Amino acid sequence: MKVTLIAHTPEPEKVIAFAARRCYSALPNDELWEKVKAGDYRDFLRKLIRRGHLTPVEHASFTFAVEGVSRACLAQITRHRIASFSVQSQRYVKGFNFVVPPAVAERGKEGEFLAAMEECRRSYEKLLEFLPAEDARFVLPQAAETKFVVTMNARELLHFFSLRLCLRAQWEIRRVAEKMLELVKPLAPVVFEKAGPPCLRGPCPEGEEGCGKLEEVRSKYLG
């Protein structure tokens, strides 16, 4: 798996602070921008987020290139609808690589899994002899490897991290989320300083189905 941050809003926290100040100031835009740039807006951003005034946070966006993940992972991340996606097509790009879940090796079942993948490969390649790729791909499994580009604004990223960094989230999308957070946090440390599962900011919403590792999770993300 590889996650790369390929583009982002320059000075994202300044942009967010400017957008928020715009709501409360009569100054012309150029004067307000200079005032924001010259000041310390960190406490203002914290208050903004604490009060749930998150519309200004949407003005900062981040674009990631992701590869080496499965179609199962893709199906989950595309449920986050306030995002833009461009995905490698199985119609125009032929071939079959796959992702192996860690549980396969942990349970000593590499042979069985690889045999299943090889059967899928043979079926796919056989169908390509007389079917177009858009039809032959129907036999490919959820393990099929894919690549995509995704853009999210900072508010949607906070929501994404809240859901996908929970230990109850599926392992693969949780790894994607971890890598994305590692990339954006240095660029917007105040916005993302408490990014992570809901238990960082209050009680676990999973109730009796929670992971039971509250202190471990808080230590990991809050230090």
pLDDT digits 0-9 by tens, 139-156: 999 999 999 999 999 999
Q: Is 174 helix (H, G, I), strand (E, B) or coil?
A: helix
Annotated catalytic residue 121? no
Q: How confident is the model at residue 212 (pLDDT cuts 50, 70, 90)?
A: confident
The CATH number of the structural domain formed by 2-66+146-222 is: 3.30.1360.170
Q: Which residue type occupies 201? A: R
Residues annotated within the binding site are 55, 76-81, 89-91, 137, 153-155, 159, 164
Tokens matching residue 191: 């916005």
Q: Is 104 helix (H, G, I), strand (E, B) or coil?
A: helix
| CA gap 164, 168 in Å, rounded | 8
The CA-based angle 150-153-156, given to 5 degrees, is: 90
21, 71, 164, 174: the catalytic one is 164
Residue 165: CB partners within 8 Å, gap ≥ 6? Answer: 174, 177, 178, 181, 195, 196, 197, 221
pTM of the shown model: 0.92
Residues annotated within the binding site for dUMP are 76-79, 89-91, 137, 164
Question: Is the pLDDT at 133 greater than 90, yes or no?
Answer: yes
